[in-house]
Amino acid sequence: MMAGRKFNLSIAVVVVFFAFILGACEGNEFEEQNYSGSALGTSYHIKIFTGKEDLQIEKGLDSIFQVINQSMSTYWEESDISLINHGVDSIKVDENFKKVFKGSEKIYKETDGYFDPTVGNLVNAYGFGPDKSPEALNAATIDSLLQYVGLDKLKLTAEGRIKKENPQIYLDFNAIAKGYTIDVIAGYFENKGIYNYLIELGGELVSKGEHITKQKPFIVAIDDPLQEEGERTYQATLKLKNRAMATSGNYRKFRIDSITGERFVHTINPLTGKPERSNLLSASVLADNCMLADGYATAFMALGLEKAKELSSKLDNIDVYFIYSENDSTKVYVSEGFQETLITD
């Protein structure tokens, strides 16, 4: 799993284009409402079209963020996941935790362990966790940490408790929980009768319906991974309608081979415990929900280009846009379904 995808460290890989307008649909006034703020260690931007008033959206959002943090934030010392990581075995997890655990199990199995939320001890040891103090790692240290890695070493019991094979196993959902949070917000909107919206949280996105006035899908973009600090250049723009998109990548954290000129990044291989060189600079994923898009984007970065291409071609309702390095230039791999969403004009 790629190191560094935390609630408080989001990669700015997607920019959302907002237009401030009012619209009408089927004879009813639909007002555009925009909300933005900070949550889960990152920022969010939300656009909805609704004719309803006094929906208390901000209050609802605050409640959602509070619940998710209490359940799954490794940065909250008294959260359920933090207590579980510290060996408390009496915690009964909530439905949010259960859904993210089961979603993680699905991706873990499909990737043969390359996506693994128990890689947290290794992430922390390399200095990418809450502590951010890297250890001096050698083969013996890595081997000792690997005994605590493996989602199959955890079990979610019927009573809603997490049972560990070893109490030192460290569980970290930060590579998937942000996407799940967006799905929860989407469900909250639809329960309020809002069916035209765009949600962005830390670069991950979900859209439903369309831009009411233009009667067209929302337009989003993927950042150029080679842009310089302070720049904002885009690799591609696309129409996002009734789908989720997440992007994972080591933006501006690649190295250049002095001989070949090839750009490559390091990700932590949860099977070996060691950083591996990869020429896959970013992975953007379209899926039916943002939890899966988020998790698969992280998994593809860990798999590397060829394995990611192979796996993505076998998955239902998953479309991908990979940016990778080849010698001294960057290239893209685009699945057929993703290609259909791209704006080429």
Computed over its alpha carbons, how large is the radius of gyration of the chain? Answer: 20
247 near 13, Cβ under 8 Å?
yes
Per-residue model confidence (pLDDT) at position 15: 44
Q: Give the pLDDT band of residue 56 (cuts 50, 70, 90).
A: very high
pLDDT value at residue 198:
98
User: Percent of the chain at pLDDT above 70?
Assistant: 82
More confident: 201 or 279: 201
Residue 242 has pLDDT above 50, yes or no: yes
16 against 266, higher pLDDT: 266
> What is the H or E stretch that residue 305 is in?
helix 305-312
User: Counting Cβ atoms within 10 Å, is residue 111 exposed (0-12), middle (13-18) or buried (19+)?
Assistant: buried
Q: Are 162 and 91 in contact (CB under 8 A)?
A: yes
Annotation-wise, does 74 bind a ligand? no
Instruction: Tell me the sheet residues that pair with 38.
Output: 43
The sheet with strand 234-240 has its strands ordered as 14-16, 218-223, 234-240
Rounded-to-integer distance, Cα 134 and Cα 151, Å: 23
The per-residue pLDDT for 26 is 44
* CA–CA separation, 329 and 332 (whole Å): 10
| 259-275 residue pLDDT tens | 655 554 557 889 988 87
Give residue 13's pLDDT. Answer: 43
Average pLDDT, the chain: 86
Predicted local distance difference test score (pLDDT) of residue 256: 56
> How far, CA to CA in Å, does 191 sit from each of 61, 103, 242?
13, 23, 16
Contact 130, 4 (CB under 8 A): no
Say whether pLDDT at 71 is over 70: yes
Sheet containing 204-208: give its strands across: 23-25, 28-39, 42-50, 197-201, 204-208, 244-249, 280-287, 319-326, 329-334
Q: Confirm or deny that 50 is annotated as ligand binding.
A: no
pLDDT at 202: 92
Q: Which position has the higher pLDDT, 182 or 274? A: 182
Residue 152 annotated as binding site: no
Two tokens, residue 171? 């569980």
Over the stretch 309-331, which tens digit does the pLDDT of each residue have?
999 999 999 999 999 988 778 89
pLDDT at 298: 92
Stronger pLDDT, 76 or 54, i.e. the higher one: 76
